[in-house]
Amino acid sequence: MFGIPDQLFVTIAGNAFSALIIAAGGLFVFFSNPRARTNQLFAFLMLSTLLYQVFYILAALQREYFAAYFWWFLNSVDVFITMAVVHFVLHSINRASAWRSYIRLTYLTGIAIFIYAWADPQAFLPLIEPKLYFYFYLEAGWLYSVMLAYFLLFPLPPFIALIAAYRRAQGVERRRYEYFILMLLIGYALGTLNFALVYDIPLDPLFGSLFGLFFIPIAYGIFAVNLLDIRILARRALVYGLSVGGLAAVFAALILVNDFLVRAVPYLSFITVPLIAALVSVTVARGVWSMSRDTERLKYEFITIATHKLRTPLTRIRWEVPGLLERAKGDPELVAGLQRIDASNSRLIELTNILMDASRIDEDSYAYAKEPVDLHVLIHASLARFDSALKEKNISVVTRLDPDAGKPVGDSTRLASVVDILIENAIAYNRNGGSVHVSLSAERRGVRLAVRDSGIGIPKADLARIFSSFYRTDAAKRADTEGVGIGLSIAKHIVAMHGGKMGAESPGEGKGSTFWVALPV
């Protein structure tokens, strides 16, 4: 094809594909945050790898000896790949300062090899000659062997440090390190295949041409620390879509030229390419699904850490307030202020409990109590807790509670959280001087709790998403800037765990809304 032997064409095409991935991915990661040191070092790694790939392609295309020798000689840029790997890995595990001397040694050694190669080219590359299907390929000089030893051995201590950091790490950090480890394994496993033929080992460099695939796990590892940034999540979703679409296009092209590939690569059978395409497609699909689930896990992991950090100071405040109230009995104004502090602190503790529920939302071991729950008591208790907020916004409350409504069997603490979430939302997203209607009625085989407000309402387009985690309508963001959009998703989960259903209704924006819960008895 194009006057190039078929096998050589396939190998060059593989290297070109890797170079394209490296160039596009490197630019994307770098410009996502050019000032970040991690991104700068990643760009250095991508640039040095890209140069190696480009020089390899140009060298493989040359039919004239001296032109081929020049481009093959530029394999000396391999030393910059080693510098980038060592520095990037140690920076990524926060060990760059502690390993400063080793990083300097890596740079000095690599630069020394590079300079010596240019000063004495014969020591690095004494000659080139035809090998396998290549017009010319490298013959190693003693300095080339030194360079290869440097390329393989200098990243080894940082890799061991990375393994040690991985074993100590937990949560998000541990997942990041998994991707860094995978990057090194893929990159070195595939990249070193090109060196075999240098030493006359008849190993086809075709498979080494795909070592640019190491970009995929490392790029994800970089973004793993930023999963709570919605803009980055959106960009990553776009990258997933483009990646899957790009791979589909590549596989479609490969299948179309399957006959050519079978002729070009003798050990390929007619079904090899379609089989590989199918297996990789399934693997990529599973990977994308796993990554999308990681996003939710990381959000809840963050919530778990944050709530545990909040619980200690809040508990200490609760312990101190009774003593302060006792000492302030002679000052009614001070007593009133301390009581407000105590009430606010209690609400913060309740919020941390709700957040902890969110972090455990997928844990089967988080057992629910099973006892008859009097919803009348929960509703009155919740209204009492929010009495000051109701008075502050001058909101009237109308209750219509059926005394014959049955008692659902479940966990009273969690059902109390559901009632609190509904009433708190009805207040937060209501207008001053508005109203809240709370009703409890008997239904066939169950009870129905409904909370109706006269507030901002919900656009019909948002009703289907209102119970999604971290989702908030634009009107909700304007009405309550402190909300995070998890209350309703938690409430719905609790209701579902009780075998019930939860829904929302609204005539439209600015016309109020009704949230209802149906529970079996």
Give residue 314's pLDDT: 73
d(CA 245, CA 409): 49
Give residue 121's pLDDT: 94
Residue 379 structure tokens = 């509703």
8-state DSSP, 256: H
Q: Tell me the C-alpha to C-alpha distance, in Å, between residue 58 and each of 67, 69, 103, 116, 154.
A: 9, 11, 31, 23, 28
Q: Tell me the C-alpha to C-alpha distance, in Å, between residue 454 and each of 10, 393, 471.
A: 68, 12, 21
Give residue 238's pLDDT: 46
Q: Looking at the chain, how many residues does it have?
A: 521
* Residue 436 backbone dihedrals phi, psi, to 5 degrees: -130, 130
> Is the separation of the CB atoms in 208 and 78 below 8 Å?
no
Give residue 103's pLDDT: 95
> Is the separation of the CB atoms in 105 and 66 below 8 Å?
no
Query: CB 287: neighbour CB atoms within 10 A?
Result: 16
Distance of CA 348 to the CA centre of its chain: 29
Q: Which residue has the tokens 């075709």?
A: 206
Domain 371-520 CATH superfamily: Histidine kinase-like ATPase, C-terminal domain (3.30.565.10)
User: What single letter denotes the amino acid at residue 388?
Assistant: S
Residues of the chain where predicted confidence (pLDDT) is lower than 70: 1-3, 32, 170-173, 215-312, 347, 350-351, 353-367, 469-485
Give residue 510's pLDDT: 84
Residue 181 structure tokens = 């480890």
Domain 6-226 CATH superfamily: Rhodopsin 7-helix transmembrane proteins (1.20.1070.10)
Enumerate the domain spans of the chain.
6-226, 371-520
Q: Which of 2, 7, 3, 4 is nearest to 260 (CA)?
A: 7
> Is the separation of the CB atoms in 95 and 165 below 8 Å?
yes
Residues paired with residue 485 on neighbouring β-strands, in sequence order: none
> Is the separation of the CB atoms in 191 and 212 below 8 Å?
no
- For the chain, how are helix, strand and coil distributed in percent, rounded to 5? 65, 10, 25
Residue 365 structure tokens = 């071991």
d(CA 416, CA 377): 9
Cα 114–117–120 angle (5° rounding)? 150
Give helix then strand counts, H and E, for the chain.
21, 9
